[in-house]
């Protein structure tokens, strides 16, 4: 942090290190009329502040008028820093209150401009200016709506005899945003269902067919096989004869039962 002084020979004690800068009042006096002309042009709206900043610079460096305005502004900047570090905390509290108001406005603007995380992606300046202008318009409308309804709520509480304290009233802010629903509200109407509903009971009963597998062993009569395998087969069925592996081949026959589920028999 650097402060500025007007008199280079002055002794400020412990603030000598702080006041390392030098303000040239001769330059301010020499361009004083031009400074007044610039201020009047901006105040009356003849020239936009953005255009004036461009005029006061040339190739990234300030012009003579720009240097004079900067030197004049350093006087108030030094006074502001000295008042901020003063023992009295009133000035710091006021600045903090103003900063809280600004942060509240920025927070409300971020919630309104929720698309694409609040970032602007226009490649041209006019598109950015249009989007920022619309955002400022919507933001002002929301602040006006909050102010009107907060005042109506306070008046209703007073009419009902509710005690209102001054310190509570001082904390009211028109930048509240909890009541805003930027994503919309969606309602889904569900059909009236019984309290004890069985999903299977609501469906019609169908005649599904159950598949039953009955395995029987069909082979040649016992005694015609070269190997004694008939005692192994269930029911004493015979064998068709040995296969290439030297064991008996048993023909399995599957019978499909077409009895519906839930029916008798």
Tens place of pLDDT per residue across the chain (265 aa): 778 888 888 888 888 888 888 888 999 999 999 999 999 999 998 988 888 888 888 888 889 999 999 999 999 998 888 888 887 788 888 888 888 888 999 889 888 887 776 677 767 777 777 888 888 899 999 999 999 999 999 999 999 988 888 888 888 889 988 888 887 777 777 777 665 555 555 555 555 555 555 444 444 444 444 444 444 444 444 444 444 334 444 444 444 444 444 444 4
Give the start-to-end residue ranges of the domains of the chain: 4-86, 88-181, 208-265
Distances (CA, A) of 246 to 41, 165, 198, 239: 114, 106, 58, 12
Cα–Cα distance, 191 to 193 (Å, whole number):
6
Start-to-end CA distance of the chain, whole Å, equals 100
Q: Can you say whether the dihedral through the CA atoms of 27, 30, 33, 38 is positive or negative?
A: negative
């Amino acid at each position: 942090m650097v402060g500025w002084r007007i008199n280079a020979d002055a002794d400020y004690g412990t603030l000598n290190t702080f006041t390392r800068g030098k303000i040239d009042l001769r330059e301010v006096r020499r361009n004083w009329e031009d400074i007044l002309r610039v201020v009047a042009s901006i105040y009356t709206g003849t020239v936009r502040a953005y255009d004036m900043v461009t005029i006061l610079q040339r190739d990234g460096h300030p012009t003579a008028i720009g240097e004079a305005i900067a030197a004049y502004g350093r006087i108030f900047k030094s006074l502001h820093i000295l008042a901020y570090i003063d023992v009295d905390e009133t000035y710091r509290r006021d600045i903090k209150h103003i900063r809280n108001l600004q942060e509240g406005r920025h927070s409300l603007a971020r919630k309104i401009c929720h698309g694409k995380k609040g970032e602007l992606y226009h490649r041209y300046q006019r598109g950015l200016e249009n989007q920022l202008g619309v955002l400022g318009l919507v933001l002002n409308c929301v602040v006006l709506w909050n102010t009107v309804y907060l005042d109506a709520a306070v008046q209703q509480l007073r009419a009902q005899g509710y005690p209102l304290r001054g310190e509570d009233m001082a904390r009211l802010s028109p930048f509240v945003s909890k009541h805003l629903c930027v994503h919309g509200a969606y309602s889904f109407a569900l059909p009236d269902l019984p309290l004890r509903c069985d999903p299977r009971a609501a469906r019609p009963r169908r005649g599904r067919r159950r598949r039953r597998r009955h395995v029987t062993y069909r082979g040649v009569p016992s005694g015609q096989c070269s190997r004694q395998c008939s005692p192994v087969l269930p029911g004493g069925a015979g064998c068709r004869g040995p296969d290439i592996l030297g064991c008996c081949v048993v023909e399995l026959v599957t019978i499909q039962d077409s009895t519906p589920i839930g029916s008798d028999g």
